[in-house]
Amino acid sequence: MAGDKVESNGSGTDIVSAAAKVAAVAHPLAEEPEEIASNISYHAQFSPHFSPLKFELEQAYYATAESVRDRLIKQWNETYLHFHKVDPKQTYYLSMEFLQGRALTNAIGNLNIQDAYADALRKFGLELEEITEQEKDAALGNGGLGRLASCFLDSMATLNLPSWGYGLRYRYGLFKQKITREGQEEFAEDWLEKFSPWEVVRHDILYPIRFFGHVEVNPNGSRKWVGGEVVQALAYDVPIPGYQTKNTISLRLWEAKACAEDFNLFLFNDGQHEAASMLHSRAQQICAVLYPGDATEDGKLLRLKQQFFLCSASLQDIIARFKERRQGKGPWNWAEFPTKVAVQLNDTHPTLAIPELMRLLVDDEGLGWDEAWDVTSRTIAYTNHTVLPEALEKWSQPVMWKLLPRHMEIITEIDKRFTAMITSTRFDLESELSNIRILDDNPQKPVVRMANLCVVSSHAVNGVAQLHSDILKQELFANYVSIWPRKFQNKTNGITPRRWLRFCSPELSKIITKWLKTDKWVTDLDLLTGLRQFADNEDLQAEWFSAKRANKERLAQYILQVTGESIDPDTLFDIQVKRIHEYKRQLLNILGVIYRYKKLKEMNPEERVKTTPRTVMIGGKAFATYTNAKRIVKLVNDVGSVVNTDPEVNSYLKVVFVPNYNVSVAEMLIPGSELSQHISTAGMEASGTSNMKFALNGCLIIGTLDGANVEIREEIGEENFFLFGATAEEVPRLRKDRENGLFKPDPRFEEAKKFIRSGVFGSYDYNPLLESLEGNTGYGRGDYFLVGHDFPSYIEAQEKVDEAYSDRKRWLKMSILSTAGSGKFSSDRTIAQYAKEIWNIEECRVP
C-alpha cells in the first residue's frame, strides 16, 4: 500500500486516512521515497506536537521538517566533530539580522532530495508545494543586511569553510505588515507562535550576561565589573547545509532568560506579582523585537542591551570553544587565538565585541593591555554597510556609562591611546583629531562613534561594492586610510545562486542547464557566460519566454490571492521591492507612475492602444516611526485604488502594493519580474543585493550609477541597462546649487505633484510629503535625495523601456544577456575572497 499514490482533494480526512496506510518506521537517513514516507509518518506519531488524530497540512509540514532535520543533524554532528579533530582556524560571523526565509525548500534542495520528498508526500495525497507553503519565514531580519548574512552562511557551508553565524532569536521580529485604508499597520510576527522545527535548543550552552553595576579596583590594580543585573544567554542552533556537500554549519541564535532563583517567591506570595518576576520580564524584552523604537532612554538602553547581549554571549562561546580545543595541551597561548579565530562584524551593531573581547582577556584571563589589544585587533574585522550619517551608530556616553561601565573605561583607554599615537606621529592630522577620535566629547551631546571604534580596532575594514569602498576610502574614512592604507578593502556583495535561481525558478534553471550542457553553474556561476553565444538563438528565446511566462502566471496568481487585484501576465511586470526609505526613492517611482497615468488619461483610445501596458508592483516595510516612508506606502496604495478601478486606463496600467515583503514573497516576485527599479540617489546605496537577484533571473534594471548597479552594468553590458540620473560625483554640487536657489524644476515633475494636490487620489493630505521635495533649504525640505533633478531623465529612461519591450526579440536577448553577465555576483565568490583576504581560513571538507 505504501507505494500507491492517494488521490486527494486536500481535505484533512483524506490526508489522515492516507497517513494511516503509511507504516510509521524511523528511517532518519532515508533517501528512497518509501522510507522517507515512513519516517514522516514516524515523526507524526512519535514526535507529536498535535492531537493524535490530526494529520492535516500543518501537521504534515512539521513531520516533514523533522524528517529532513534527522538527516541534517547527522551531517551537522559529523561537521562539528571533524572541525574539532582538524582544529582549523574558524570564522564567526556576528550579525543583528539573518533573513533566512523558508528552510524546507532550501534544505531538501541543497541535500538534493527534493524529488524523493515530493514522491514521498504524494503517498499521503500531498504535493510538496502545499507543504512548503505551511512554513512561516523566520522573522530574524529586515532587509539586505540580514539577507546578505544568510546568503553568506549558505556559501560558507557550500565552500566547506569552518564557520559559524551568531545572531539573536527574535520572538516577534520587526513586524508583520498589513495594508489598510490608513496605509501600513504593524503587528507582531507569529513565526514562533507554535515552534520552529529547525532549531535545536542547547541546554548546556548557557552564559551569564551582566548589565549596569560598577567596576571594583583590586589592590593589585586589576579591575572587575560587578553588581547590576545578570541574565542568561541560552543557545539555539539552526543547521545550515551546504549544496551537495556533507558540510552542515550552524547559525547559533541566543535567547535571553532569567533563572528560577531570580523569581522572588516571597514577593509573589505577598501579592507583588510583577515585582516578583521583574528580571524574567526584562530578560524577555531583550529578544522580543528586532530594532525596538529608541526615541526614549529606555528604548536606547534596550537596543544597547541587545547589541551587548549578542556580542558577550558569542565571544564567551568562542573563547570556550578555543579552550575546549586546547584541553590537555598545557596553558593557553593567547597569541595563538587570532590564528584559530576570525570574528567578522556585520556593520556597527556588533561593535561592542571589541571592548568585550578586551574585557574578557584583561579582566577574566589576566592578559596585559598590549597583549590583549594585539589579540583583539588581529581577530576582529569590520564590514561597513552605509555612508548615511544616521546609520553610522553613535551611542550616548551617559547611557553607555550607565549600562556598561567597564566597557566605557576600555573604550576611553582605546581612544586615549589612539589620540596619543596621532599627536606623537601624525602632526598633519591634529586638526582632524576631533573627527577621527572614538569619543565625541561635545558637552551638549557626548557620544561614542561606533564606526570609528571599529576602524581603529580592526585589522581589516571593507565596503560592499567598488563604488561604496571608493567613497569610504576617499571621503568617510580618508584620514584613517592615510594612517593604515592596507587596512581597507572592497568585497562586492553576492547572492546565493541556489535560493535565488536554482530553487526559486526551476523552469529557467532547467533551460540554463540544458543549453550549458551542465548544472555545474549552480556552484560556479561564471559558467553563465556560456549563454552569451546563444542570446540570438530563436529556440533559446522561445524557451526563455515560456519559463518567464510561467513565473509571471504564478506571480499573478499570488497577487490575486494576497491583494484581490487581478493582473495581466501580458503586461510588462515592473517591480521595486526593498525597505521603504527616501534615499531608495520609491517616491520617484510612484511620481513617475502618476505622470504616466495622467498622460494615459489625456490620450484617446487609439493612442492608448499604442502604449506598452504595464503592471507596477511596489513592496517593502516602512519603519514604524518613519513618517515620510509611511506616507509613501499610503500614496502607492491610494494611486492603486484609483488607477486599478479606472476603466479607461486599467488595461494599460495597474499599480499594486505587495504587502508584508519578505524572503518568500521575493522568491515569488523576482522570477516573475521583467523590469526592476534600483533608483537610489547615487552614492547612497552601499551595494544593494536585490539588484543582483533580479539581474540573475533575466530581469532588466532601470537604475542610477549607485552601489553594485555600477558593476552589474559593466558585467551585463551597458546597452542592457536603463541608466538615468546624477552620478555620485555630481550630487554634492547639485545639492549646493539647490541651496543657492539655482534648481529649475522640470514642468513634468511639477505636473505630477500638482495632480496629487488636485485630490484625484483622495482627501489625504500629502503636502508634508511633497514639501520635502520643495524649497531650497531647511530640515525635511530642499529635496535632499534629488527626486526633482532626476525626474526628467527617469521619465526618458522609462520611455526607452517601453520601446525595448515592444520588440520581443530584442527584450529576450537583453534578458538572456542579463543572466549571462551575473556570474560575478555569486556570494560564493564574495565569501572565497573574505576567506582568503581577510579571515585567512581554508576549506575543511567533511570526508
The overall average pLDDT reported for the chain is 95
pLDDT at 10 over 60: no
For residues 447 and 362, give the distance between their C-alpha atoms in angstroms, rounded to a whole number: 25
Catalytic site residue 578?
yes
> Which has the closest alpha carbon to 346: 381, 379, 318?
381
Chain segment 735-763, per-residue pLDDT in tens: 999 999 999 999 999 999 999 999 999 99
Chain segment 568-577, per-residue pLDDT in tens: 999 999 999 9
Runs of H (alpha helix) within 706-786 = 709-716, 731-739, 747-757, 767-771
Residue 55 binned pLDDT confidence (cut-offs 50, 70, 90): confident
For residues 379 and 357, give the distance between their C-alpha atoms in angstroms, rounded to a whole number: 10
Of 340, 579, 581, 735, which is the active-site residue? 579
261: cell is: 532563583
> Which has the closest alpha carbon to 121: 45, 42, 40?
40
Catalytic site residue 830?
no
Chain segment 790-800, per-residue pLDDT in tens: 999 999 999 99
pLDDT at 205 over 50: yes
Of 102, 385, 621, 824, which is the active-site residue? 385
pLDDT given at position 3: 39
Residue linked to cell 565569501: 831
Handedness of CA 44, 47, 52, 58 (dihedral sign): negative
Catalytic site residue 693?
yes
Chain segment 248-264, per-residue pLDDT in tens: 999 999 999 999 999 99
Residue range 321-335: average pLDDT?
87
pLDDT given at position 14: 63
pLDDT at 13 over 60: no
**Contact at 8 Å (CB) between 456 and 483?**
no
For residues 363 and 343, give the distance between their C-alpha atoms in angstroms, rounded to a whole number: 20
Q: Calculate what percentage of the chain has a pLDDT beyond 70.
A: 98
pLDDT given at position 21: 81
For residues 244 and 47, give the distance between their C-alpha atoms in angstroms, rounded to a whole number: 28
98-132 CB burial, b ≥16 within 10 A, e <16: bbbbbbbbbbbbbbebbebbbbbbbbbbbebeebb
pLDDT given at position 7: 39
pLDDT given at position 18: 65
Residue 160 neighbours by CB under 8 Å, 6+ apart = 242, 245, 247, 843, 844, 845, 846
For residues 371 and 361, give the distance between their C-alpha atoms in angstroms, rounded to a whole number: 9
The CB-side HSE value for 781 (13 A sphere, CA atoms) comes to 10
Chain segment 138-177, per-residue pLDDT in tens: 999 998 899 999 999 999 999 999 999 999 999 999 999 9
Chain segment 489-536, per-residue pLDDT in tens: 999 999 999 999 999 999 999 999 999 999 999 999 999 999 999 999
> Which has the closest alpha carbon to 452: 405, 362, 400, 389?
389
Q: Calculate what percentage of the chain has a pLDDT beyond 90.
A: 93
1 or 438: which carries more pLDDT confidence?
438
Catalytic site residue 423?
no
Chain segment 831-844, per-residue pLDDT in tens: 999 999 999 999 99
For residues 518 and 495, give the distance between their C-alpha atoms in angstroms, rounded to a whole number: 21
Tell me, rounded to whole angstroms, the distance of Cα 629 from its chain centroid: 19
pLDDT given at position 391: 75
pLDDT given at position 5: 37
The H or E element spanning position 99 is none
For residues 440 and 655, give the distance between their C-alpha atoms in angstroms, rounded to a whole number: 47
Of 348, 492, 689, 704, which is the active-site residue? 689
Residue 397 binned pLDDT confidence (cut-offs 50, 70, 90): very high
**Could you count the other beta carbons within 10 Å of the beta carbon of residue 461?**
26
**Could you count the other beta carbons within 10 Å of the beta carbon of residue 387?**
19
> Which has the closest alpha carbon to 434: 559, 51, 447?
447
pLDDT at 27 over 80: yes
Chain segment 658-686, per-residue pLDDT in tens: 999 999 999 999 999 999 999 999 999 99
Residue range 568-590: average pLDDT?
97
Chain segment 766-825, per-residue pLDDT in tens: 999 999 999 988 788 999 999 999 999 999 999 999 999 999 999 999 999 999 999 999
pLDDT at 9 over 80: no
SS3 395: strand
For residues 548 and 808, give the distance between their C-alpha atoms in angstroms, rounded to a whole number: 13
> Which has the closest alpha carbon to 232: 203, 252, 198, 258?
258
Between the two ends of the chain, the Cα-to-Cα distance in Å is: 38
**Contact at 8 Å (CB) between 98 and 150?**
yes
Strand partners, 167: 253
